[in-house]
Structure 1
Amino acid sequence: MKKILIIFGVVVILAVSAYAVWRFGLLDTFGVSSPSSENAPGIGIPSNPLENVPEINPVGKTNPFKDVKTNPFD
C-alpha cells in the first residue's frame, strides 16, 4: 500500500511541475508584448508597393513583326 502512495505522489508532483513549466515557461519564452503604435506612423510604407514595377509581361513582345504587312498582294 505504501508503494502505491509513493508512486501516486510522484505522478502528482510530475503532473504539477509539467503544468507549471507549460504554463509559465511559455510566457517567459514568447512573452506577451503590446503592439507599439508609436512607431507605426513613421514607417512610411507605400499603399501600393507594386506601383512602380517595370513591365515584364512577355505577351506584348511575342511578335516582333506585327507592323509588317502580312499580304503583299493587297
Structure 2
Amino acid sequence: SLTNCVVYAPRVDGTPRPELIDKLGFILVNKAVYYNHLNTRLGNDILSFHKSKGIKFNDRFISMLKAHHEMEATIV
C-alpha cells in the first residue's frame, strides 16, 4: 500500500530518468495503477518531464493515484 507517497523519477548512475517511470512496476502513466494507493503524488521531476513533452495526465489516472484499491480495475 502506498499512502501519502511521492514517486520520483528512477535514477540511473545518479541521474534522474523520468522517462523510465513505467519501469517501476506499479505505475504506467495514463495506462494503469497497480496495488493500493491513497494520495500518491508524482514528483516535480516527473511532472516537469511530461509537461515538457506535452503529455497530459488523464483524469482517470489522476483519480487512481488519489485513491485506488487493488481489487479495482488497474487499467485506466
Q: Does the TM-score normalized on the shorter chain lie above 0.5? A: no
The TM-score, its normalising length taken from structure 1, stands at: 0.17
Larger radius of gyration: 1
Q: Which has the higher contact order (CA 8 A, sep 6+)?
A: 2
